[in-house]
A and B are shown apart, each in its own frame.
Chain A
Amino acid sequence: MFEFKLPDLGEGIHEGELLKWYVKEGDTISEDDPLCDMETDKAAVTIPSPRTGVIIRLTGNPGDTIQVNQVLVVIDEDFKESSIQQIKTIKEVGPEPETKKIAAPATRRLAREMKIDINAVTGTGSAGKVTKEDLEQYEAGKKDVKQEEPGAYTEVSLEGSSNNGTIPFLEIDRLPDYEKSGPVEKESIRSLRKKTAIKTTSSTILVPHVAHMDECDVTELENLRKTFNSTKEKAGNLTLLSFVIKAVSSLLKSYPEFNAGIDPHKMEIVYKKYYNIGFAADTPRGLIVPVINNADQKSVAAIASHLVSLSNKGRDGTITAPELTNGTFTITNVGAIGGTGVVPIINYPESAILGLGRVIKKPIVKDDKIIIGLMLPITLCFDHRIADGVRAALFVRDLKQMLENPMVFMTGV
């Protein structure tokens, strides 16, 4: 009998959502056959069977969240008819876990009613006892299990106001009955939609955002880009974004506050000495942010080719969790579609994000003459807890200079 536990899916990933089973209890499965699809907050993966045998027990239903190291499936490699019944019995009457949380009987009953595994809850009572309040806290945020994990974001639930008493005026009104007014369609919030919702909500509530905007004349940059691309030396074309990533990654070294994060529990600002630039990418599944690691050490061409391959992987769903993890700064480029500007939300727990608008020709004044400039609207949104407006203004000014004088910055780095 083999108990297959959800394997480590990559750095910082503790759980995944079960999307679908390829098998049902009683099915025979061969090693490496697909077992199930799991979606983490980074990517969707198909998990293959580690053994050949008969599926004795599946532990979850699609939509369930499975923790890493939780038993996912029990496979009997030496199958006999009675095994299914046996394993069920063993599971149900098996020895209790040794490390049981301490809680009063009524609290234990409440946990069952709330469908919470009390052993997963951090107790704040004397001697680590789990209290009713701990259960409510856990239900509201599942906060305490994640708090300790570096890099993990904190879920903030707005349901139930008791634990959010710290935010005055925060009330969630019940939605009107839209169906009375006309036909509606309902869709449950799951997977990436849910992750995005959680992340953006956390970010807007936790981070005081400030936006600083400007426009860069990218005429010269465009010329350079076109010249480069026309040589066709490289397989892929350079994009505007690849230049911006290059420029930002080198500029961040002078602006550590925008490549940082806040640890509110320790009252510390963490400055990262590595420059992994994430870029927002639209995929059929929703928004993902692939990361170009150590962008400061890569050439524009290398960045461009990474952009292409990561975008492709994102689109066809083969992107892996590590490729979506450990970003330090994010750039979102909705300009490709349109818009005179954008005020993005910081990709929490990063400290800043750069939004790019659409490049359009505009009349600009240069040397007291009106000329046509190819203008790129840029916005830096930053965490005001870490930095003040002056630094953002300086950052944007420097970035503008770099992008407007690409030859200088390209030769400088």
Chain B
Amino acid sequence: MVMGELVYDVDVVVLGGGPGGYTAAIRAADLGMEVMVVESRPTLGGVCLTEGCIPSKTLINAVGLVENIKNSEKMGLVSKGVELDTDKLRQWIQTIVDNLSTGIATLLENRDIEVVHGHARFIEDHKIYVDGTNTNIRFKHAIIATGSRINELPAGIDLPLWTSATALKLPEIPKSLLVIGGGYIGLEIGQAYAGLGSQVTMAEYNPKFLSGADQDLVNVVIKKCQEQFSAIHTGSKVTGIKKIKTGYLVTFEKNKKIFNGEFNKILVATGRRPNTDDLGLDVLGIQVDKRGLIATDDQCRTIKKHIFAVGDITKGPALAHKASREGKVAAEVIAGHFSAFDNVAVPAVLFTNPEIAWTGITETKAKEKNIPFKKGKFPLTALGRAKSMGKTRGFVKIIADPESLLILGVGIAGEHASELISEGTLAIEMGATLEDLIVTVHPHPTFSESMMEAAEMAANGSVHLLKRKDNA
């Protein structure tokens, strides 16, 4: 032992203080274990809290309010030029983030969970070393929850392009903004900046946006984007970026045709990669696959029985709610409980305008895998509550097994999709049938009625539509 070196002995060490890590730590402590968390950032909460979900949704909410006010003229709401003070908004976002991060720190503190800030690496089967703090932690079990980071720019591009993290800090509202990457981050931030007043151009390499998602859901957003954005280039490749005085000169290639565009700022939103490359996993004999993911079983256990992995570094969607559920499973398994990540449905939610969300099996997947299904689709134009709020874009659709009428999947586009989707997820987890949703009394007038109506559509037709529609 080197002088000044600290050695801790704990039951569980958690690598990473994001949604997967802090949830695991808290659950493990509540189950009677001595727990430590190693977090490389100065604050807790991970990407989700510091530069992801929370700041982006705070931003999107503010931008949405502006749009709502502007759109409320027909309701008699008279406003003379709504202005957005970006400095104040930036402060507001930071306040929310700080507040929540402190909250997590308090939750850990209350449970005597020690947090060490630094980069952790495995140096032995039961020992990690935390860089920068000269700390060794000996542990019985470890939960790796190191999350993911933004994909680096392609080699050779050495320009101060924005990432989603930059954009969420609101450094400025550029006059023109190019968003490279039409995934959910690109769409969300692109729409937010459009709402803030930027002229947004979207470039997506694939011919379709969000190719895994049902295109009828995506189209609701794309339709809105077409109104908001200056241009949308799908199937387009960015072949060159040149710094010019006003910003960047960008060369695109689409269908073998080359064209240029000038933009003040560029946001690169081309995906994320797992943080598994510098953890000393080789010491443990744990290998990662070609995407950098660690293989785990349904108890979140790696090939080493005492090492668990949760969140973005494991297979499945890189989503905070999947990570936190896995974190709980890992902690419970360590405590000897019979837990497993046996969830049937992990909802996906896009805070676009309008929101879209889906859970369970998508229609696209069902067709791809030849899974028989019947579908019910209920447009929000037929919903009283949607009309009263002037938010009639979108629909709810439910996919069910044609024989048993078990609900297999739910897709929602429209206002409150992010909230409504949970009823679908619960239905799928509980093995609910269409009838279960249909006979459940849904309060009127609410958006939640659209779930019931869609279920009726799938079963036999809704009373709120003019005639029965064939299930296509």
Contact check, B429 vs A93: say whether CB atoms are below 8 A apart: no
Residue A156, interface by CB 8 Å: no
Contacts of B430 in A (CB 8 A): 104-105
Task: Report the count of interface residues on A (CB-CB < 8 A).
Answer: 19
Question: Which of B296, B338, B401, B404 lies at the interface centre, i.e. has the most chain A CB atoms within 10 A of its CB?
Answer: B338
Contact check, B303 vs A102: say whether CB atoms are below 8 A apart: no
- Whether A92 touches B431, Cβ cut-off 8 Å, given contacts A109-B339, A127-B401, is no
The 5 A-B pairs at the shortest CB distance, nearest first, are namely: A127-B404, A102-B431, A92-B297, A112-B338, A93-B295
Residue B433, interface by CB 8 Å: yes
- Whether A105 touches B338, Cβ cut-off 8 Å, given contacts A88-B303, A92-B301, is no
Task: Report B269-306 residues with CB < 8 Å from chain A CB.
Answer: 285, 295-297, 301, 303
Task: Report A81-109 residues with CB < 8 Å from chain B CB.
Answer: 85, 88-89, 92-93, 100, 102-105, 108-109
Residue A129, interface by CB 8 Å: yes
CB distance from B333 to the nearest CB of A (A): 10
Contacts of B429 in A (CB 8 A): 104-105
CB distance from B292 to the nearest CB of A (A): 15
Residue A113, interface by CB 8 Å: yes
Contacts of A109 in B (CB 8 A): 338-340
- Whether A125 touches B431, Cβ cut-off 8 Å, given contacts A85-B303, A93-B315, is yes
Interface string of B94-116 (1 = CB under 8 A from A): 00000000000000000000000
Contacts of A108 in B (CB 8 A): 340, 342
C-alpha spacing A113/B336, complex, angstroms? 11
Residue A128, interface by CB 8 Å: yes
Contacts of A105 in B (CB 8 A): 342-343, 429-430
Task: Report B434-458 residues with CB < 8 Å from chain A CB.
Answer: 435-436
A residues in contact (CB < 8 Å) with B:
85, 88-89, 92-93, 100, 102-105, 108-109, 112-113, 125-129
Contacts of B339 in A (CB 8 A): 109, 112
Residue B406, interface by CB 8 Å: yes
Contact check, A89 vs B406: say whether CB atoms are below 8 A apart: no
Inter-chain residue pair count (beta carbon < 8 A): 46
Contacts of A93 in B (CB 8 A): 295-297, 315
SS of B interface (majority): loop
Q: Which of the four size classes fits the interface of chain B?
A: 20 to 34
Contact check, B404 vs A113: say whether CB atoms are below 8 A apart: no
Contacts of B338 in A (CB 8 A): 109, 112-113
Contact check, A92 vs B303: say whether CB atoms are below 8 A apart: yes
Residue B220, interface by CB 8 Å: no
Task: Report B98-155 residues with CB < 8 Å from chain A CB.
Answer: none
Contacts of A104 in B (CB 8 A): 429-431
B433's closest neighbor in chain A, by CB?
A127
Question: Which of B303, B342, B343, B436 lies at the interface centre, i.e. has the most chain A CB atoms within 10 A of its CB?
Answer: B342
Contacts of A125 in B (CB 8 A): 431
A129's closest neighbor in chain B, by CB?
B431
B434's closest neighbor in chain A, by CB?
A127
C-alpha spacing A103/B432, complex, angstroms? 9
Contact check, B405 vs A92: say whether CB atoms are below 8 A apart: no
C-alpha spacing A109/B341, complex, angstroms? 10
C-alpha spacing A88/B297, complex, angstroms? 10
Contact check, A85 vs B297: say whether CB atoms are below 8 A apart: no
- Whether A89 touches B340, Cβ cut-off 8 Å, given contacts A102-B431, A103-B431, A104-B430, is no
Contacts of A85 in B (CB 8 A): 285, 303
- Whether A89 touches B295, Cβ cut-off 8 Å, given contacts A102-B431, A105-B429, A112-B338, is yes
C-alpha spacing A367/B406, complex, angstroms? 80
C-alpha spacing A92/B301, complex, angstroms? 9
Contacts of B296 in A (CB 8 A): 92-93
Question: Which of B343, B405, B431 lies at the interface centre, i.e. has the most chain A CB atoms within 10 A of its CB?
Answer: B431
B294's closest neighbor in chain A, by CB?
A93
A109's closest neighbor in chain B, by CB?
B338
